Amino acid sequence: MGQSICGCTKAKEKRRAPIQLTEKEIRFLLERTTYDRVEIHEWHTQFLKDCPDGTLNKKMFLKQYRKFNPNGKPEKLCDHVFRAFDADKNGFIDFNEFLISISLTSTDLNYKKKLEWVFNLYDIDANGTIDKDEFRTIIEAIYKVLDVKQHSFKNVEQSANDLFQQIDTDKSKTISLEEFVKACTKDRYLLELLAPSV
């Protein structure tokens, strides 16, 4: 692994005793990730090294995200990626949430689950559908990370509108999970456009 997870290794706060994984948690992660028992322990050790209290907050998450996207402006997208990682919506990412999201976004072994995760990234209000404003918000955030210049902004908006219409096959002005999965399954290039290196 080698990479710092959350960039908080220099934290001055008093370190607590290490948070141990229970056998139940290990089995839970074995069922929901692509990692084996040894890899889960390695990830956990690194996570606790960087985040001694066992949680990752939005500020630390953004700091780490910037390391992987130094040229773009990741703040907006990072907010949405953090929201998607934070499954229980408590404002922090715990180790289980972190590892499950990393596993889903870094492998195609469970392609449908990965697409559901990406769908949740776009579904900002968590109502089960993506409207045009939500879709455009995430597309614009992705373009900022990719450092698309301001003069291209109209192209970004047009691209978002075109993609939305392509995916919204029933013309309901919202995208359902089923439409999203179907569109990305038919055209893997579309998924790369919708979620580049999240």
Q: Does residue 56 form part of some domain?
A: yes
Question: Are 137 and 99 contained in the same domain?
Answer: no
Q: Determine the pLDDT at residue 12.
A: 35
Span 165-175, pLDDT tens digits? 999 999 999 99
Q: Rounded distance, CA 54 to CA 52, Å?
A: 5
Span 79-88, pLDDT tens digits? 888 999 998 9
Q: CA 14, 17, 23 angle in degrees (round to 5)?
A: 145
Mean pLDDT of the chain: 82
Structure tokens at 28: 């839970």
Q: Does residue 87 form part of some domain?
A: yes
The DSSP code for 2 is: -
CB 17 within 8 A of CB 72: no
Percent residues over pLDDT 70 in the chain:
81
Nearest of 65, 168, 123 to residue 56 by alpha carbon: 65
Question: Are 150 and 115 contained in the same domain?
Answer: yes
Q: Which domain holds residue 154?
A: 111-198
Reported confidence tier of residue 158, pLDDT bands at 50, 70, 90: confident
**Which CATH number does the domain housing residue 72 bear?**
1.10.238.10
Question: Are 95 and 115 contained in the same domain?
Answer: no
Question: Are 172 and 97 contained in the same domain?
Answer: no
Span 23-70, pLDDT tens digits? 999 999 999 999 999 999 999 999 999 889 899 999 988 888 777 766
pTM of the model: 0.74
Question: Are 185 and 122 contained in the same domain?
Answer: yes
